[in-house]
């Protein structure tokens, strides 16, 4: 299958750096084209073929105070129930241990990387990040509409929030985190990738000029983040509803 990520290393990557006077700056890599989420240490590799599509699971060892909420078998079970047409060229599933500064500066449940470098190969990747047992979920009580919706989703995932004068605060709960990352984040990131495929790819792409593909690719990354988030949320909500109604989820942790 044609893989445009091999032709354009910079798909979807940030073009800006961080302030030099910022004490919480995420260190830049010595290698000029490797991002912080591509610098893995002490990892294992597991190859899984799902619906005749090979995925590479890369699991980074966690710190003693952190944990991966989802297992490879958990993730494989969800991917098995995602339409194969939505896989595209996505290949890498990364269970990553973020650095402490990254948890402060760029904390996420997961992320989609449109061109991820791993062992000198480049493919789209979905990253699910390990979570620190010492970290609490903290949300301001002054939330906009989108924030209110996300807080509601987190409560539905099983996170129990207490209120103080300024914030909603939830303690670390590995099972609730698993619900968030497995039943929402993973599917949400697939939704982002499907949006990209539908916007950029089309029949006959291999016969057209590369410049035309570049134009569509550039237009996609110029879309408002709200538009891309809306698409991914709708994709995830629809698929999660189908899987729930069909009795696929929830399921017990698969070791």
Task: Say how far residue 14 (Cα) sits from the centre of its chain.
Answer: 16
Residue 52, helix vs strand vs coil: coil
Domain residue extents for the chain: 43-135+172-246
Token pair recorded at residue 132: 């620190």
Enter the pTM of the model.
0.86
Instruction: Note the pLDDT tens digit of each residue in 119-157.
Output: 999 999 999 999 999 888 998 999 999 899 999 999 999
> For 76-79, which contacts have Cβ atoms below 8 Å and span 24 or more sequence positions?
76/48, 76/50, 77/248, 77/251, 77/254, 78/182, 78/183, 78/186, 78/187, 78/243, 78/249, 79/50, 79/55, 79/186
Instruction: Note the pLDDT tens digit of each residue in 153-202.
Output: 999 999 999 999 899 999 999 999 999 999 999 999 999 999 999 999 86
To the nearest 10°, report the CA torsion of 67, 72, 78, 80: 170
Report the alpha-carbon distance of residue 244 to residue 85 in Å, rounded: 21
Instruction: Note the pLDDT tens digit of each residue in 8-53.
Output: 556 665 543 333 333 445 455 555 568 999 999 999 999 999 999 9
């Amino acid at each position: 299958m044609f893989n445009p990520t091999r032709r354009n290393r910079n798909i979807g990557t940030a073009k800006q750096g961080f302030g030099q006077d910022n004490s919480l700056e995420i260190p830049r890599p010595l290698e000029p084209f490797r991002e912080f989420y591509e610098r893995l240490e002490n990892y294992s590799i597991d190859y899984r073929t799902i619906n005749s599509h090979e995925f590479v699971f890369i699991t980074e060892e966690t710190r003693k105070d952190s944990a991966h909420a989802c297992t490879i078998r958990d993730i494989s079970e969800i991917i098995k129930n995602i339409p194969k047409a939505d896989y595209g060229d996505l290949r890498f599933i990364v269970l990553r241990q973020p650095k402490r500064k990254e948890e402060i500066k760029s904390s996420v449940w997961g992320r989609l990387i449109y061109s991820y470098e791993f062992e000198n190969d480049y493919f789209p990747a979905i990253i699910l990040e390990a979570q620190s047992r010492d970290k609490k979920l903290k949300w301001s009580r002054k939330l906009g509409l989108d924030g209110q919706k996300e807080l509601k989703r987190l409560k539905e995932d099983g996170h129990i929030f207490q209120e103080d004068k300024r914030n909603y605060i939830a303690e670390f709960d590995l099972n609730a985190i698993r619900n968030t990352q497995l039943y929402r984040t993973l599917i949400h990131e697939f939704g982002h990738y499907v949006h990209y495929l539908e916007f950029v790819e089309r029949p006959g792409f291999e016969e057209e000029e590369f410049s035309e593909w570049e134009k569509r690719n550039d237009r996609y990354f110029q879309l408002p983040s709200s538009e891309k988030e809306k698409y991914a949320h709708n994709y995830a909500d629809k698929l999660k509803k189908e899987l729930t109604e069909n009795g696929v989820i929830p399921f017990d942790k698969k070791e």
